[in-house]
Structure 1
Amino acid sequence: MENETIQYENSIQSDNFNGLKYFLSRCLYHWPLFLIGILITTGIAYYNIRKAKPSYQASAKILVNNGKPSGESNALEKLNVTDASKGIDNEIEILKSRPIVSQAVNDLDLWVTYEESGKYYQKDVYATSPIRFRLSNKAKIKENQVFEIIVLANNRFVLLKSDGTVLNASFNNILKNSFGEWKLDTTKYTTQYIGKKIRITLSNPDAIAGNYQGKISIAAAATGSNLLDLTVSDEVPERGKAFLTALIKNYIAATKENKNQATANALKFLNNRLATITQELNEAEKKTAGYKSSNNFTDISAKGGAYLGNVQSNDAKLAELNIQLDLLSGIENYVNSARNDDNAPVTTGISDPSLGALVGQLSTAIQQRNKLLSTTPESNPIFDPINKQIKYLKDAIKETIRGVRTSLLTTKRQLEANNSQFESSFKEVPAQEREFVGMTRQKSLKEDQFLYLSQQRETIALNYASTLSDVQVVDEPHDAGLTPSKAPVILTAAFLLGLILPAGFVYGRNAIKNQIIDKREIENTTNTPVITEVNYEEDNSLKSILSRNGNILGEQIRELRTRLVYLHQKKPKGRVTLFTSSTSGEGKTFISSNLAVAIAASGRKTIILELDLRKPKVSKTFDLNPEYLGISDFLSGQVNDIKTIIQTTSIRPNMFVIGAGTLPDNPSELLENYRMQEMLDLLKTEYDDILLDTPPVHLVTDSLILAELCDVTLYVVRQGYTSKEELDYIKRMSKEKRFPKLNIVFNGVQNNKYGSGYHYDNSYYTQNKKKKSIKSAFKDLLDRF
């Protein structure tokens, strides 16, 4: 069992190898197709490479700090106003955001391009343009506008209109068009372009911004690093550098604006609180002074002083807690508010630094979203990630507020309990002193709050006056050279495509085609040997076999004659060979007739029987009278002497034919007549070889009736004609042994068309060689396909 498995696996590997070898041989045969494919694909690739515009890289490096410039005080860390932690990924997205990129595009008027005609493409002359387009109104260009001008002199130009007319105009003069009022300004390069044509293209700024968003590349220099590498590709290196410069400038301005806005909000809050505290402090001071004056009160007792000191310290802590609780409420209202404005709440004095950081990130995200809303509809998918970020930050802030508030309320309850203890111990002090201590306590509380808020305001005001950017330019934008050429990759891909496409054609042609192309298909499917291959012959006559000059077809028929000897086991006389096929037109009559002539030429007495009683063709092939009495007449009993139906041929003296005779209505029934056996028995005694030309077996049963009377069966299959579905039928016939010694003749082989891997050299058979004409060579080339 193990040996059988190994043999089976080896057989599969051998079949796979042979299949690959056969496929490669067909590809080699069709080498002109591969050459044409390579020339076409590489030619197109080369043309596109030459036509492609050059691309240059502009690069820069910036350092994004963690939110606080060096030298800030510890007080600012407590305030958390400008200490929002900057995630480097967020900063990259901000740098590439549409508002900042759009601002850079508009600052440089990158939505206007200037081009002159080049050899392969329109050359962009941004750096040396002789003109600058100025749009008077601020309306955006919605659709691309293209027009051409010719510079006449330093002060004049010609505008070429789309309708073919021209307009003479002067530089700096305002012109009107469908997109508004505009003018052209001269540059220092104007004189260099006199007489030259310049194409001006106006594009939608939003589309250009989106284009630059796709071209710019921003990445951290290393994992965890705040150093960012900025790169942009552009046809003009100067434009790439200018774009990066404007982009960095707008990003720095945006970061300063965010910090200033947060600081301004803090100052506004502190000023409002200070105004309220100042008023309350003044009232407390007046009340204390009036009480002392009216009651001639001079000093507080030791017990009252101790109480006042304890309660003042406790009240200061309570006041700070209340401020933090108020701030938490403000932040909570901001997060829960349906309005997403840029006025972030103040986080001054909140003890938890993470809350301040989260609020800062939320404020930045909301600002980004509001800027996008000014240029982009809210339904745009670009809002999906930023909306998700805002929702995440809000949920995180709410969770943090709950934790901080719980802690603050616990501390507040403890401080209020302390005050209750102090007040219970102070009840023994006289009422007048207790009232005065209460007034002094309130005055001291207001003074502490006023002092604390004043200190914070001064610190923040100082920071507001000297706000520094968190962004530092490490490497100014510069030209980084040409973008690495993709020409080798493109040419290699084109070359491979030039091989793959023809290979796919060669493989697919035979795979899709439903006709039999290769003899391996026959042998592998039917398990029946192919005894010989016979080349295609346009002329169905017997000229090839009768020709004295050697030719391939004649030699192939003679080879079949030799193989037939061994199939009959060298039987000397009375050999009966049956010829059939699956369907009409596969060439069984052609093969049987030529083989009969070849056998007769070897000196053997040969006769061929025209047993296709429905569509006889043998008589016509041998140029005999089709109305002559024949097989049907003998089988029906109208003729008793077999010699009367045998016809001689002019081809060979030992070559004879028995025609079909009168076409019968019941050919199958006639063939089942005992006289058929009698006919063959008589012929075997007189003839060396008896060839039976029968009808297609898959159409009628005549061949199966005659099969029992024969020694050898030759089944004709025609290349490019016989359907692959017939192979299963042949396999079944072979398995059931319906035909004796079944062998297949592969007819109509066209190596020059199908490249089946079996090629014959004509030079051996050709005596007079003629030089092929170009027309003939071209025809031979086309015949391959």
Structure 2
Amino acid sequence: MYENNNSNNPFSLNGNTPVAQQQDSVFDLRKVLDILGSYWYLFLLSFLLTGTAAWLYLRYSTPSYKISAKILVQDDKKGGNLPGEEILSQLELFNTKSSVDNEVEILSSRSIMESVVRDLQLNVMYVADGRVKKTEQYRNMPFSFKWLSLSDSLTAMNYTIRPVNEKKFSLSRANLTREGSWNDTLHLPEGVVFIQRNPLYAFVHPEYYVKVVSIDQAVGKYRSLVTMAVPNKQVSTVDLSITDGIPERGEAVLNKLIEEYMKASVEDKNRIADSTIAFIDNRLVIVTKELSGVEKDIQQFKQSNQVADLEEQAKLLVSSTGDFSKQLLDQQVRLNIVESMQKYMQDEANNKRVVPSSLVVQDPSFLGLVERYNTLQLERERQLLSTTESNPLIKNIDQQLQGLRGDLNTSLGSLKSSIQIGIDELQRSSGSLNKKIAQVPAKERLFLDFSRQQAIKQELYLFLLKKREESALSKSSNLAVARIIDPAKSDALPFKPKRLLIYLLAMVAGIVLPSVGLYVKELLNIRVTNKKDITGATKVPIIGEIGHAQNKEMVVAKRDNVTPVAEQFRALRTNLQFILAGPQQKVILLTSSMSGEGKSFVAANLAAVLALSGKKVVLLEMDLRKPKLSDKLGVNNMTGFSTYAIGKSMLEEVIRPSGIHENCFIISSGPIPPNPAELLLLEQTEMMFTKLREKFDYIVVDTAPVGLVTDAQLLARFADATLYLVRQGTTFKQQLQIPGDLAAQRKMPKISLIVNDVKAGRSYGYGYGYGYGYGYAETQRKGVAGRIKRLIGKS
């Protein structure tokens, strides 16, 4: 166990997780800011682009305004009663139940919106040229299109209107040009249009554009734009809103929609009242004739029998049979009404009409059937406004109506049977009185029958007159099921686009876009770019970092050289003292994952800094397959390790000066052998390392990449420490598993990483991180000052 006394070394060299790796596991805001700050120009450019895009969008986008309205709907469950409703409730006529949910559905129906579109001509849009773009106009145009007829197959058509003078104009579209007069009709293939001149506005553009779509398209568009909501379950108010680029048009749409809805609700009530009044009028004609006939029979009876007053004569009889007669009269009235309803229901001409509900005897089950039947009839007529009888929906309603009609007939039959049974029972009960009536003279008895018929017809006649007056009064007092609380009104400021939000989004986009780009770039990068890539992939400690060398020299670690790279090799030399424990540990093996990661460069400079410290160093070029070291140092490679291993050269013959330093020697690889691995297994190799350990203080071995061949593993048995090269921007991230596996399986001794070719600033940490900055900066300042003095002296 040992520790590094050099404050510039942030690594723990005891084989455990390095301190730097532990620090990298914590999010470092300073590091992130430094990385992002190195790309400040990208963020500045992104801010300029997104800010400009936001300004252009706000400058040329069409603002949309939100228009709102509020109505109160009659809801029996929530108490949303309308003014005057309590008076009508006393009549108990046409008492149709309503709820806010049902009324919302009616309000959003297609038929009502179609009426709005047709009345306001919303399928016609006017466009005029602006300074930058074309803008839509509404009601402030010098003319207007009013379609008298329009083809249902029309999808969309664009027209261009060119005013010729105050009386003439020219209309053109694709493959068609027509001339016409203002305030006149124009026959087009799409239909007949009336083009009206508006004298309040003058022509300020040479051309105007009109876009016409079908009614169905316009209805679908505005149904999707209008939203309706009930604020909560405790109230019966409905909030209506629409978003439109022209506030006046949005207000007109909502106001017209409410108007058409209220008008339709009143019309539904009036139609039920009209049907009831018509039925009563027909019955009055029949009952009047029957009553007149009975009265004529009584007149003829009195004249032929010379009867002046039968009241006193029949008083006792009438008083005795009064109770039974009254009950029998009520039952006969009900029977007459039921028979009339049966005739009405059996008449095929009334199949498409609503059933009068106010005349029926108050039977709850029958009233429920009548209410459902009338509701379906009204729904069928409303749907026929926008579809045909062949529509499956209409056929479905017809089937339901047919079933309900059968149920009504069945109910009427049952009701008639029960009434008839009651009449029979009353007639049997009055049998005892009939014996007494038989004693009455035949004339008086016959007169009594006439009087009874007269009373029945008169009672029915008065009942019908009363109901007709009630129906007429109810119709004249019919009110809509809703009233306006707030008419449609537009907001003062546009609903969208929101300027603050757009600029905020532009600011966020200005930060996110380059950040995402940098993140994606880092995510797609498969090579090592920063320290976190290394510490996150392997637990092997980093012993040193070698910066990027600006020049192309092979050896940068010279006696008087204080460049950053030279100082890093000196720091590496210091860190090696903590790995090589004792004077007997002197063999340093350098390997990497693949070729091109700088093993020869690091080996030569490591040997140089070790020689600068006064130690005797030998540099072994053991990359027998692709040797580079001897060539770059200018050493003759005709003889070397390969010739020594096969016995053609002595060890003393292949040890030559390296030219780096007087204490630094080199053994080159020699000619490339056909069997490099077998040469490393020879006994001569072991003998060579034994003799070199006796003669030299340090032995630096440059080997082949361990990720490609096994040469380095074969030499590992002679090494005391292994330096594994990782090159920034070259080594693949997946290859970092190799040193970890070698260390875990103990195939190579004391493995440590050296990060080579580190570019300062942008991507790797905070710079080199080895404490050379002060000296190097001072040297730079001195060098700059010297150059300035020399320039002044020359001038």
Pair 1:567 & 2:567 matched: no
Residues 373 and 221 of structure 1, relative CA distance in 2, 3 Å threshold: same
Listed as ranges, the matches of 1:209-288 within 5 Å are: 209-220=219-230, 224-278=234-288, 281=291
Residues 484 and 175 of structure 1, relative CA distance in 2, 3 Å threshold: closer
1:663 to 658, 672, 697: 672
What is the match of residue 309 of structure 1? 323
Question: How large is the RMSD of aligned CA atoms in angstroms?
Answer: 4.7
Asked whether the equivalents of residues 80 and 356 of structure 1 are also in contact (C-alpha less than 8 Å), the reply is no
Residues 74 and 520 of structure 1, relative CA distance in 2, 3 Å threshold: closer
Q: Partner of 2:615: helix, strand, or coil?
A: coil
Listed as ranges, the matches of 1:55-74 within 5 Å are: 55-65=64-74
Question: Cα distance, 1:694 vs. partner?
Answer: 1.5
What is the match of residue 39 of structure 2? 30
Q: Which one is further off, 736-745 or 489-498? A: 489-498
Pair 1:50 & 2:59 matched: yes
Asked whether the equivalents of residues 308 and 441 of structure 1 are also in contact (C-alpha less than 8 Å), the reply is no
Question: Cα distance, 1:680 vs. partner?
Answer: 0.8
Residues 303-327 of structure 1 deviation map (CA, whole Å, 9 limit, x = unaligned): 6653353243254157448857986
Rounded Cα–Cα distance in structure 1 between residues aligned with 2:407 and 2:22: 69
Amino acid at match of 1:523: T
Asked whether the equivalents of residues 593 and 621 of structure 1 are also in contact (C-alpha less than 8 Å), the reply is no
Rounded Cα–Cα distance in structure 1 between residues aligned with 2:186 and 2:682: 106
Residues 735 and 217 of structure 1, relative CA distance in 2, 3 Å threshold: same
Rounded Cα–Cα distance in structure 2 between residues aligned with 1:141 and 1:450: 56
Residues 203-236 of structure 1 deviation map (CA, whole Å, 9 limit, x = unaligned): 3333233332233344457754444444433323
What is the match of residue 595 of structure 1? 606
Amino acid at match of 1:588: K
What is the match of residue 11 of structure 2? none
Question: Cα distance, 1:630 vs. partner?
Answer: 1.7
What is the match of residue 210 of structure 2? 200
Amino acid at match of 2:522: N
What is the match of residue 726 of structure 1? 735
TM-score by length of 2: 0.79
What is the match of residue 508 of structure 2? 496
What is the match of residue 473 of structure 2? 462
Asked whether the equivalents of residues 710 and 740 of structure 1 are also in contact (C-alpha less than 8 Å), the reply is yes
What is the match of residue 622 of structure 1? 633
Residues 685 and 245 of structure 1, relative CA distance in 2, 3 Å threshold: same
Asked whether the equivalents of residues 338 and 416 of structure 2 are also in contact (C-alpha less than 8 Å), the reply is no
Question: Cα distance, 1:693 vs. partner?
Answer: 1.4
What is the match of residue 646 of structure 1? 655
Listed as ranges, the matches of 1:397-436 within 5 Å are: 415=422, 419=426, 422-426=429-433, 428-431=435-438
2:745 to 736, 757, 764: 736
Rounded Cα–Cα distance in structure 1 between residues aligned with 2:350 and 2:494: 43
Residues 721-780 of structure 1 deviation map (CA, whole Å, 9 limit, x = unaligned): 33333333332222222221111112233355535454677866646779xxxxxxxxxx
Q: Partner of 1:455: helix, strand, or coil?
A: helix
Residues 305 and 358 of structure 1, relative CA distance in 2, 3 Å threshold: same
Asked whether the equivalents of residues 67 and 489 of structure 2 are also in contact (C-alpha less than 8 Å), the reply is yes
What is the match of residue 790 of structure 2? none
TM-score by length of 1: 0.80
Amino acid at match of 1:680: F
Question: Cα distance, 1:73 vs. partner?
Answer: 8.9
What is the match of residue 107 of structure 1? 119
Residues 175 and 646 of structure 1, relative CA distance in 2, 3 Å threshold: farther
Amino acid at match of 1:625: N
Q: Partner of 2:577: helix, strand, or coil?
A: helix
Asked whether the equivalents of residues 43 and 510 of structure 2 are also in contact (C-alpha less than 8 Å), the reply is yes
Q: Which one is further off, 306-315 or 353-362? A: 353-362
Residues 69 and 637 of structure 1, relative CA distance in 2, 3 Å threshold: closer
Question: Cα distance, 1:556 vs. partner?
Answer: 2.2
Asked whether the equivalents of residues 312 and 441 of structure 1 are also in contact (C-alpha less than 8 Å), the reply is no
Q: Which one is further off, 294-303 or 366-375? A: 294-303
Rounded Cα–Cα distance in structure 1 between residues aligned with 2:131 and 2:533: 55
Q: Partner of 1:247: helix, strand, or coil?
A: helix
Pair 1:687 & 2:696 matched: yes
Rounded Cα–Cα distance in structure 2 between residues aligned with 1:119 and 1:530: 66
Rounded Cα–Cα distance in structure 2 between residues aligned with 1:69 and 1:160: 53
Residues 556-580 of structure 1 deviation map (CA, whole Å, 9 limit, x = unaligned): 22222221122113x4576111111
Amino acid at match of 1:499: I
Rounded Cα–Cα distance in structure 1 between residues aligned with 2:645 and 2:464: 132
Rounded Cα–Cα distance in structure 1 between residues aligned with 2:155 and 2:56: 30
Rounded Cα–Cα distance in structure 1 between residues aligned with 2:683 and 2:615: 27
Asked whether the equivalents of residues 549 and 765 of structure 1 are also in contact (C-alpha less than 8 Å), the reply is no
What is the match of residue 522 of structure 1? 534
What is the match of residue 84 of structure 1? 96
Residues 313 and 175 of structure 1, relative CA distance in 2, 3 Å threshold: closer
Rounded Cα–Cα distance in structure 1 between residues aligned with 2:151 and 2:58: 38
Q: Partner of 1:481: helix, strand, or coil?
A: coil
Question: Cα distance, 1:713 vs. partner?
Answer: 0.6
Q: Which one is further off, 176-185 or 138-147? A: 176-185
Amino acid at match of 1:108: L
Rounded Cα–Cα distance in structure 1 between residues aligned with 2:743 and 2:342: 94
Residues 42-86 of structure 1 deviation map (CA, whole Å, 9 limit, x = unaligned): 3323322222212334444444446997657978766542x2122
2:593 to 553, 576, 582: 582
Rounded Cα–Cα distance in structure 2 between residues aligned with 1:407 and 1:552: 112
Rounded Cα–Cα distance in structure 2 between residues aligned with 1:31 and 1:588: 35
Asked whether the equivalents of residues 334 and 419 of structure 2 are also in contact (C-alpha less than 8 Å), the reply is no
1:117 to 129, 144, 150: 129
Residues 105-163 of structure 1 deviation map (CA, whole Å, 9 limit, x = unaligned): 22222222223333454233324212223445433582333344454653455667679
Q: Which one is further off, 477-486 or 687-696? A: 477-486
Question: Cα distance, 1:554 vs. partner?
Answer: 2.5
What is the match of residue 6 of structure 2? none
What is the match of residue 791 of structure 2? none
Q: Partner of 2:661: helix, strand, or coil?
A: coil
Q: Partner of 2:718: helix, strand, or coil?
A: coil
Long gaps (5+) in structure 1: 1-7, 771-785
Asked whether the equivalents of residues 559 and 612 of structure 2 are also in contact (C-alpha less than 8 Å), the reply is no
Q: Which one is further off, 172-181 or 521-530? A: 172-181
Question: Cα distance, 1:497 vs. partner?
Answer: 3.0
Residues 227 and 694 of structure 1, relative CA distance in 2, 3 Å threshold: same
Amino acid at match of 2:136: D
Aligned length: 744
Which has the higher Rg, Structure 1 or Structure 2?
A: 2
Rounded Cα–Cα distance in structure 2 between residues aligned with 1:646 and 1:76: 123
Asked whether the equivalents of residues 642 and 673 of structure 2 are also in contact (C-alpha less than 8 Å), the reply is yes
Question: Cα distance, 1:518 vs. partner?
Answer: 2.9
What is the match of residue 5 of structure 1? none
Amino acid at match of 2:672: L
What is the match of residue 605 of structure 1? 616
2:357 to 344, 347, 369: 347
Q: Partner of 1:652: helix, strand, or coil?
A: coil
Amino acid at match of 2:215: P
Question: Cα distance, 1:176 vs. partner?
Answer: 6.1
